[in-house]
Amino acid sequence: MALPLKYNYRNVLIRWRTTLFTVVGVAAVVSVVILLKALAKGIESSSARTGEPGNILVVRKGSQAESGSLVTRDQFRTLQFFEEIDRNAGGQPVVSAELVMIINAPRRAAPGSANTLIRGVTPRGLELRPKVSLVEGRWFQPGQREVTVSKKLAGRFEGFELGGIIRAGPDRLRVVGLFEAGGSAFDSEVWMDADEARGIFDRSEMYSSILLRPRDDAAMRSLTNRIAQDKRLGLRAEPETEYYSKQTATAVPFNILAGLLGTAMSVGAVFAAMNTMYANVASRTREIGTLRVLGYSQTAIVMSFLIEGVLLSGLGGLLGCAFSLGIYAYVVARGVTFGTMDFQSFAETVYQFRVTPDLMLLGLLFSLVIGLFGSFLPALRASRLPVISALKSL
């Protein structure tokens, strides 16, 4: 015969002080794990949103990122007239040779500075990225030492605001516009004319990558194989979306940290729940003896205490999820962004953390596991109490 659930519910309400202590402890653990996972999810989401499915990105073989790739002008001249490449309305091949460099900029709201990416693009580069849209000012003009900056970067670095001046070595670049890139990796970049960038950064014969659009899927497969098999070129081609989806190494430390902290804090939460349940057993010894006299089995008592522990931790999990969701809503409403070092390019990546339904489900399941482990041993002890001794206790 099983104990009714109403019994567990009333015990939770009557012992509200210990209930509150346990619930808040579990909620703290769950919220920390969810928020750390949300940071990693934000970085992964930024990479997943980058690129167009119909584009191909070409970099040097062996390079891990555009900033570490070198593509010569001769290689670009060879590639740009391949018949697999699409043409625009003006009959020009839709291909853009680009240069990606790192500059150091002072932070706006904190002391010190950080690296950020500056990308030299061509008019075709803008055409290949329809998700990038101008929101203030205008696009840069070639030969005028002008740049257009991500709006998110403008809020993080001095001189990146509209009308500001960015230092690139001995040169000064004027910010004439701000763009948004839909939460993609381009939100962490400054854009300027590619040929002008080659002159400023002394890369007269070199680019970093080539972005192009094949005519169709068959042309994409043909072009990718053609570039891979041409040993003279020494280049690697892959869909732009696949390239950026692999650039998620920055999220690894957050996932590791979430795992380590989650493990350490969950051990503490398990012991806290265990202490609470042991205290409940000690204060309810006569009650447990009475239940045994009434005919409830040891298994029924074990299950009752397990249910009670899982109920407490489940309430903590719900509270932790609600707190995490509240933080996420605040961040989105205020437009708060975060930045971290990209271990591929060694420049700062700007992103927003994302609390998703799967993370909340993970946090809730995590809390239930804490309750289950934390209440098992106290439940076992309660079921093994001698009936006579329990009834004689004060």
pLDDT digits (tens, 9 = 90+) for 344-373: 656 667 777 788 888 899 889 888 888 787
Q: Are residues 212 and 279 in the same domain?
A: no
Q: Are residues 209 and 177 in the same domain?
A: yes
In a domain, 239, yes or no: no
In a domain, 54, yes or no: no
Q: Are residues 85 and 16 in the same domain?
A: no
Q: Which pLDDT score is estimated for 272? A: 67
Q: Are residues 105 and 193 in the same domain?
A: yes
Q: Are residues 127 and 269 in the same domain?
A: no
pLDDT, greater one: 85 or 289: 85
pLDDT, average across residues 156-162 = 91
276-300 per-residue burial string, b: 16 or more CB within 10 A, e: under 16? bbbebbeebbebbbebbeeebeeeb
pLDDT at 146 over 70: yes
- Crossing angle of helices 285-293 and 251-283, in 10° steps, is 70
Q: Are residues 362 and 216 in the same domain?
A: no
DSSP three-state, residue 104: strand
Of 169, 198, 233, the residue at which a domain comes to its end is 233
Q: Decide: pTM greater than 0.85.
A: no
Q: Are residues 9 and 156 in the same domain?
A: no
pLDDT, greater one: 187 or 332: 187
pLDDT, average across residues 310-317 = 85
In a domain, 320, yes or no: yes
251-272 per-residue burial string, b: 16 or more CB within 10 A, e: under 16? bebbbeebeeebeebbeebbeb
In a domain, 180, yes or no: yes
Q: Which pLDDT score is estimated for 340? A: 65
Q: Are residues 66 and 36 in the same domain?
A: no
The residue range of the domain holding 93 is 62-233
Q: Are residues 42 and 66 in the same domain?
A: no
Residue pointed to by tokens 């890369």: 203
Q: What is the domain count for the chain?
A: 2
Q: Which pLDDT score is estimated for 294? A: 66
Q: Which pLDDT score is estimated for 177? A: 96
In a domain, 297, yes or no: yes
- Supply the mean pLDDT for the chain: 80
Q: Which pLDDT score is estimated for 7? A: 60
pLDDT, greater one: 236 or 37: 236
Confidence of residue 262 (pLDDT cuts 50, 70, 90): low
Q: Which pLDDT score is estimated for 394? A: 47
Q: Which pLDDT score is estimated for 230? A: 83
In a domain, 57, yes or no: no
Q: Are residues 329 and 208 in the same domain?
A: no
Q: Which pLDDT score is estimated for 137? A: 94
pLDDT at 4 over 60: no
Q: Which pLDDT score is estimated for 115? A: 85
Q: Which pLDDT score is estimated for 107? A: 87
In a domain, 53, yes or no: no
Q: Are residues 73 and 168 in the same domain?
A: yes
In a domain, 240, yes or no: no
